[in-house]
Amino acid sequence: MSALLWLLAAVPLTAGTALLLTGRRLDRPAPALGVAAAAATLGLAVASAVLRPEASAPLFAGIRAGLRVDGLSAVMTVVVAAVTLAVLVFSAGEKDRLSQGGRFHGLMLLFAGAMLITVTATTLPLLLMAWEVMGAASWALIGFWWRQPQRTRAADTAFLTTRTADLGLYLAAGAALAGGVTALDLDALAGARGPWVHLLTAGVVAAAFGKSAQLPFSFWLSRAMQAPSPVSALLHAATMAAAGAYLLLRLHALLEATAWGGPLVAWTGAATALLLGVAAAAQRDLKQLLAASTCSQIGFMVLAAGTGGVAAGTAQLTAHAAVKAGLFLAAGAWLYALGTKQLPALRGAARAWQWVGAAFTACALALAGLPPLSLWAAKDEVLAAAFAQSAALYATGLAAAAVSAVYSVKALWYVLRETPGDAWQGYDTEESGTRRVTPLMRPPLLVLAAAAVALGVLALPGVFSALRDAVGTPDEPSPSAWQLPLSAAVALSAAWLAWRIQGRGPGPRLLRPAAVRRWAAGWLGLEQAARTLAVRPVLALARATAVFDDRVVDGAVHRAARAALTAAGLARRSDDGGVDALVRAVARTARRLGRAARRPQTGLLHQYYAQAAVGFAVLTLLLLSLR
Amino acid sequence: MTAALFAVLAVLAVTGAVLVFRCASMARATFALLASLVCVGGEVILLGLPYLGVVTVLMMVMEMVVMAVFMVAYMMNPAGLMPMSMVHNRRGALTISGVVFAGLAAGVLLAPWPGRVGTAPQDTTFQAGAALMGDQMLTMVTLGFALLATMVGATVLAVGRGRYDRFGDDLSRPRPDDPAGGGVGR
Amino acid sequence: MLELFLLLAAALFSVGLYGALSQQSIVMIMMGIELMIAGVITAAAALWHFLAPAAADGQVIVVAAVVAMAVEMAMGFAVTTAVFRSRDIDTADAAEDLKG
């Protein structure tokens, strides 16, 4: 049984690694191989969801690497495997744009393997490792067309932001170890002692917010839209962005262990849902709109985690995965065909390619929260859990739901127009469009659109209670009788209003003051704030330390070297002038004395006699004086 | 009487000594030296050493005669016709000798000479001979060696061309190698 | 009396010293040395007579001085002859350099 679980993790990882390592040689068969591996993974995921296996292996001293498929993990694994398969089939259809198939499919499979480990891990170190691999794969995929520098810059921004937030998980691991959770089991984290549990919660919350692009980290998802559309569909809509929400759902017991954990998470989720929804409504780029919408919808999931609605959050996650993946793939298909993703230029796109248009319409209506589609049901369950906590949370959530209807309808309005005569002027701005949609692109879109509609059954109480039992929170509140119609009415009226206002003419009409519109369109100025508050001080600190190193540390070394040279010069001068001069003076004196000693040697006998006579006289006087 | 003899001999000796260096003729200088040394021999006889005094006189006579031959040979001017004064450093020499004389005189006059010890024997010659053959045998031997060495050395230095120059290193040449011929064929 | 003899010896010695120091000719230098030795003879004999006539040491000194005189004369003339043969000179000043 545990072999099934290891296989589930190993198949995408090894397939991905193999495709990556073989490089260009397997570019031609890579899409087929990728789809085959994804299909196998889906089979294994369904089997594990049914059989619920467990596996464990030793990792560090006293800490094991454990995998388990319980109710929450079962849903997550099936969602991840299914969306991966759909996206890889779509990528096979786009394979002439994604030229290095081996690298692409390898990275996608690697990512899928890491995500599967994340959603089935039972210990924090294993989760952390898979988390980091996800981040790395995301960086490689955002910067897939690395020859264009803006894409690599976007990848760097996304990676640095999520990685900085991931430090929270490391902090949490340390706090858990300090707080007595020596085996670092995810289920046991809520039992950490004393002040450590606060640190633990703070770390986990920070990491989850970073990965899920909640406030204040939302700006990285905007930059991540530089990735190819399949990447956006898989990573930044369905799976990785939802991983943070999954972590919070998994650790909902930890959030309840501190008094501030749940409320903080819930209010952040609600605020993100509302504010990022407003930002989505102000976007003119379809992928940016979808990205802001992703932040907003994940806000709902985070709200559910903060209020204890684990099943609601799971339902929201599943429905959102299908809906958003479908929307991104449709946007990718139009980008492939028309070479643009600006909303004004996409007018009439739904009519030109009708299957794509139909799938997009279905998913957009689901995104708007119109009954009886999937996101209406899931959102209601989330709002029910929020209402059980506080009415203010419910009101914020309801407002966010209304805003989601607004922006979904905005996108839909554009693509459902008739194609204007001068539409060709807006085409081919990003890349050269092929004016066709390949056959392989259609099936995934249709399947995802069908799922987006069919998951509306989650509204049925029987289905929802089965889900609650599966994830292990049978006492979760379910929407009461008046909440469902209220949210339906709010969504329908917001959608109708938006259609009417949009229909009054082109151009942005939805947000009145121009300054507010600009602020919202610029993603609430989050990236500028991050740059000013985080990036610039760090770079200034780095420059200061570099200067310190150059002047003080390096300078000390140089000065020591100069001092040594000066000392050497001083020693040499003192040696030359002092010691050497002394020696030379002695030699000079000896030479002079020698020359002086030669002078009596005249060879003249009489002078020798005279010297002898004088010498003897002196000697005699000396002897006499001594006596 | 002894004192007067001493005084006369003394004056003559010193005068002769001074004259040695003031004569222009080499023969006269030699004979002045002879006179001085004969007076010294007389002083020695006066002091009760007849043998030694006579030996001195005899030796001086022979020496002076030999010296006269050499003087004339090397320096010519036997008659002193040419005024000759070959001196160097006369003032320095005068100073040194004057200082030396003053020093010696001061020593002589100021030294506390002890009294006489013992008396002279009857036969001073015998005393000298007995001493030389007995207690002072070492002195005798040394003097003998010195004289032998002198003889050998003088001959070696003075000879111009010896047997080995004339007959080869192992005396094997049939005819001597002389620059000028003649001789008795040996 | 002793002092007078010794003064005589000193006078002879000094004159002989003057001659040895001031004369250029080798033979004249030898004459000066002869006079110095004569002074030594006088002094030795006087000291024997006035201080220790019982011992023969004074006489031995006189003998030694006489032998020194003879040696000096012999060697002096031999050297003069050799120097004259090799360099054709007879003054001490001309023999001031070594052969090299």
Q: Flag if C82 and B158 touch (Cβ within 8 Å).
A: yes
Same domain, yes or no: A105 and A133: no
Distance CA B67, CA B61 (A): 10
Which one has a higher pLDDT value, A134 or A418? Answer: A134
Q: Is the pLDDT of residue A255 over 70?
A: yes
| Residue B9 CB contacts under 8 Å (≥ 6 apart), including other chains | B39, B42, B43, B46
Q: Is the pLDDT of residue A505 over 70?
A: no
For the four alpha carbons of B68, B71, B77 and B80, in that order, the dihedral sign comes to: negative
A67 three-class SS: strand
Residues from chain B contacting residue C61 (CB–CB below 8 Å): none
Residues from chain B contacting residue A622 (CB–CB below 8 Å): none
Residue C67's pLDDT is 95
A293-336 pLDDT, tens digit per residue, is 999 999 999 999 998 888 888 989 999 999 999 999 999 998 88
Amino acid at C40: V
The residue written with tokens 């930002």 in the block is A279
Task: Report phi then psi at B101, rounded to 5.
Answer: -60, -45
Task: Report phi then psi at A123, rounded to 5.
Answer: -120, 150
Is residue C39 situated within a structural domain? Answer: yes
* Mean local confidence (pLDDT), B155-180: 82
Straight-line distance from the first to the last Cα atom of chain C, in angstroms, rounded to the nearest whole number: 54
Report helix, strand and coil shares of chain B as percent, to nearest 5: 65, 0, 35
The answer to whether A69 and A120 have CB atoms below 8 angstroms apart is yes
Q: Flag if B92 and A613 touch (Cβ within 8 Å).
A: no
Burial B114-143, CB ≥16 within 10 A → b, else e: eeeeeebeeebbebbeebbeeebeebbeeb
Which residue range is the domain that position A391 belongs to? Answer: 123-521
Q: At C57, list the tokens.
A: 């040491």
Pick the range with the lowest mean pLDDT from A24-28, A218-222, A225-229. A24-28
Residue B79's pLDDT is 60
A147-169 pLDDT, tens digit per residue, is 889 999 999 999 999 999 999 99
User: Chains that contact B by 3+ CB pairs under 8 Å?
Assistant: A, C
Task: Report phi then psi at B87, rounded to 5.
Answer: -125, 155
Counted domains in chain A: 3
Among candidate residues A497, A521, A545, the one where a domain is terminated: A521
Residues paired with residue C25 on neighbouring β-strands, in sequence order: C91
Q: Flag if C92 and A605 touch (Cβ within 8 Å).
A: yes
Same domain, yes or no: A499 and A550: no
Q: Is the pLDDT of residue B183 over 80?
A: no
Q: Flag if A603 and C23 touch (Cβ within 8 Å).
A: no
Same domain, yes or no: A140 and A114: no
Among candidate residues A122, A141, A167, the one where a domain is terminated: A122
CA distance A577 to chain C (A): 41
Q: Is the pLDDT of residue A235 over 70?
A: yes
Residue C48's pLDDT is 93
Same domain, yes or no: A329 and A370: yes
For the four alpha carbons of A358, A364, A368 and A373, in that order, the dihedral sign comes to: positive
Total number of residues shown for chain A: 627
Same domain, yes or no: A206 and A152: yes
Residue A508's pLDDT is 55
Residue A565's pLDDT is 93
Is residue A394 situated within a structural domain? Answer: yes
Q: How confident is the model at residue B78 (pLDDT cuts 50, 70, 90)?
A: low
Report helix, strand and coil shares of chain A as percent, to nearest 5: 80, 5, 20
Same domain, yes or no: A105 and A154: no
DSSP A372: T
Is residue A620 situated within a structural domain? Answer: no
Distance CA A41, CA B132 (A): 141
* Mean local confidence (pLDDT), B81-98: 77
Residue A431's pLDDT is 78
Which residue range is the domain that position C72 belongs to? Answer: 2-89
Percentage of the residues of chain A whose pLDDT score is greater than 90: 29
Is residue C21 situated within a structural domain? Answer: yes
pTM above 0.80, yes or no: no
Same domain, yes or no: A62 and A31: yes
Interface list for B 102-131 with A (CB within 8 A): 103, 107
The answer to whether A295 and A237 have CB atoms below 8 angstroms apart is no
Q: Is the pLDDT of residue A510 over 60?
A: no
Residue B154's pLDDT is 92
Highest mean pLDDT: which range of A49-53, A67-71, A76-80: A76-80
CA distance B20 to chain A (A): 18
Residue B77's pLDDT is 59
Same domain, yes or no: A413 and A454: yes
In Å, how far from its chain's centre is CA A522?
20
Same domain, yes or no: A173 and A222: yes
Residues paired with residue C91 on neighbouring β-strands, in sequence order: C25
Q: Please report, for the domain that includes residue C62, its CATH number.
A: 1.10.287.3510
Is residue A623 situated within a structural domain? Answer: no
Same domain, yes or no: A152 and A98: no
Same domain, yes or no: A115 and A128: no
| Residue B81 CB contacts under 8 Å (≥ 6 apart), including other chains | none
Residues from chain A contacting residue B103 (CB–CB below 8 Å): 617, 620-621
* Residue from A248, A350, A346, A245 nearest A298 by CA: A245
Is residue C97 situated within a structural domain? Answer: no
Amino acid at C27: V
Interface list for A 374-413 with C (CB within 8 A): none
Amino acid at C58: G
Chains A and B: how many Cβ contacts under 8 Å?
Answer: 18
Is residue C38 situated within a structural domain? Answer: yes
Q: At A416, list the tokens.
A: 């459902």
Distance CA A505, CA C75 (A): 151
Counted domains in chain C: 1
The answer to whether A291 and A241 have CB atoms below 8 angstroms apart is no
* Mean local confidence (pLDDT), A446-456: 87
Q: Flag if C29 and A605 touch (Cβ within 8 Å).
A: yes
Is residue A621 situated within a structural domain? Answer: no
Is residue A526 situated within a structural domain? Answer: no
The answer to whether A77 and A141 have CB atoms below 8 angstroms apart is no
Other C-beta atoms closer than 10 Å to the C-beta of B88 total: 16
Is residue A387 situated within a structural domain? Answer: yes
The answer to whether A127 and A121 have CB atoms below 8 angstroms apart is yes
Q: Flag if B103 and A621 touch (Cβ within 8 Å).
A: yes
3-state SS of A436-477?
CCCHHHHHHHHHHHHHHHHHHHHHCHHHHHHHHHHHCCCCCC
